[in-house]
Amino acid sequence: MTEPDPRTVLITGSAGAVGRACAETFLQQGWRVMLTDLDPPSAALAGRPDAAFAAADVTDRKAVDAAYAAAVARFGRIDAAVLAAGVEGPVGPVEGISEADIDRVLAVNLKGCLFWMQACLRDMKPRGSGAIVALSSISGVVGSASVGAYTISKHAVIGLVRAAALEAGRDGVRVNAICPGPIDSDMMRRLDKALSARDPLRAGGQADSSKGLPMQRYVTAAEVAGMAAFLCGGAAAGCNGGTYMVDGGFTAR
Ligand SMILES: NC(=O)c1ccc[n+]([C@@H]2O[C@H](COP(=O)([O-])OP(=O)(O)OC[C@H]3O[C@@H](n4cnc5c(N)ncnc54)[C@H](O)[C@@H]3O)[C@@H](O)[C@H]2O)c1
């Protein structure tokens, strides 16, 4: 199928490290970008004719549907979506996860992803084309100590991606997950600080968890965005239902 030109990608969590990097990468590749988050984009992005923003809380299904409709009204059609909104949740042992904590983390990381995916699938499946990429994590593939709620939510995102991919493949819609390792980002620095305070010996006694990774450095948000752009593009036409690691070798052990 010939791809429309220009193509439009919807990016959730667009004010975050991965969302911002995705906006930059997709714009560089000639896409139009529909941004959505609780927080607005930078002035530079907000002023571009090929970018637009709609505020939406991913836990609010009506707000998500309204933002999706706004995106279609603005750009005509949505060809791809990168679902990057997320929260890390509390740090501590599984037995200490409160009901409020698990509800909150699942509401943002899992239900938020589900609501946006549903809006995309309802539009893309009847049309017969589309690509959806959900941000999971290495914590969606292996366990991560002291972030149980986050680990649960990111495993669940992979389940959601797999179920949706099985259903949507025949309709020309591809659904994949990206599983980044620790990214050079505010989220990771917050986690490193909290995790090291709990366990000073983690990562060989280094407060910086990147030192425990085979590549000895954090993954960059731009590297994650590059994978997202690949999965949304025609070169990934055969990729559906996959979990794509961008983890510097973390899960190769
Ligand atoms: N940073 C990492 O090291 C890392 C590693 C693996 C996976 N991930 C995942 O990648 C994704 C992006 O991470 P990031 O580093 O950009 O995080 P970030 O904290 O920089 O950005 C997350 C964004 O999500 C938005 N958000 C949170 N709750 C929301 C809600 N209820 N409604 C709408 N938007 C909401 C925030 O406003 C923020 O802009 C997340 O799903 C995260 O779990 C991150």
Q: Where are the domains of the chain?
A: 8-181+220-246, 184-218
Architecture of domain 8-181+220-246: 3-Layer(aba) Sandwich (3.40)
Write down the pLDDT at residue 78.
98
- Residues designated as active site: 150
Write down the pLDDT at residue 132.
99
Pairing status of strand 80-83 against strand 51-55? unpaired
DSSP string, 124-166: HHHHT-EEEEEE--GGGTS--TTBHHHHHHHHHHHHHHHHHHH
What is the CA 101 to chain-centroid distance, rounded?
20
Quick: pLDDT tens for 46-60. Answer: 899 999 999 999 999
Answer yes or no: is the C-beta of 42 below 6 A from any ligand 1 atom.
no
Q: Is the predicted pLDDT of residue 4 greater than 90, yes or no?
A: no
Answer yes or no: is the C-beta of 113 below 6 A from any ligand 1 atom.
no
Across the range 182-196, mean pLDDT stands at 91
Answer yes or no: is the C-beta of 130 below 6 A from any ligand 1 atom.
no
Percent of the chain with pLDDT over 70: 96
Across the range 236-244, mean pLDDT stands at 98
d(CA 119, CA 111) in angstroms, rounded, equals 12
How large is the angle between the packed helices 221-232 and 17-28, nearest 10 degrees? 50
H or E, element range at 25: helix 17-28
Answer yes or no: is the C-beta of 186 below 6 A from any ligand 1 atom.
yes
Residue having the nearest C-alpha atom to atom 7 of ligand 1: 137
Residue having the nearest C-alpha atom to atom 42 of ligand 1: 86
Q: How high is the mean pLDDT of the chain?
A: 95
Q: Is the predicted pLDDT of residue 213 greater than 80, yes or no?
A: yes
Question: Left, alpha or beta for 240 (phi > 0: left; psi -120 to 50: alpha)?
Answer: beta
Across the range 142-162, mean pLDDT stands at 97
Across the range 92-114, mean pLDDT stands at 98
| C-beta pairs of 235-242 under 8 Å, 24+ apart in sequence | 236/131, 236/174, 236/176, 237/174, 239/174, 239/176, 240/165, 240/168, 240/169, 240/174, 240/175, 240/176, 241/161, 241/162, 241/165, 241/166, 241/169, 241/175, 241/176, 242/165, 242/176, 242/177
Q: How far apart are the first and last CA of the chain?
A: 39
**Residues paired with residue 24 on neighbouring β-strands, in sequence order:** none
Model confidence, pTM: 0.97
Residue having the nearest C-alpha atom to atom 21 of ligand 1: 16
Q: Is the predicted pLDDT of residue 201 greater than 70, yes or no?
A: no
> Where do we find the tokens 């659904």?
175
Atom of ligand 1 nearest to the CA of 154: 43
Across the range 120-140, mean pLDDT stands at 98
Q: Is the predicted pLDDT of residue 243 greater than 80, yes or no?
A: yes
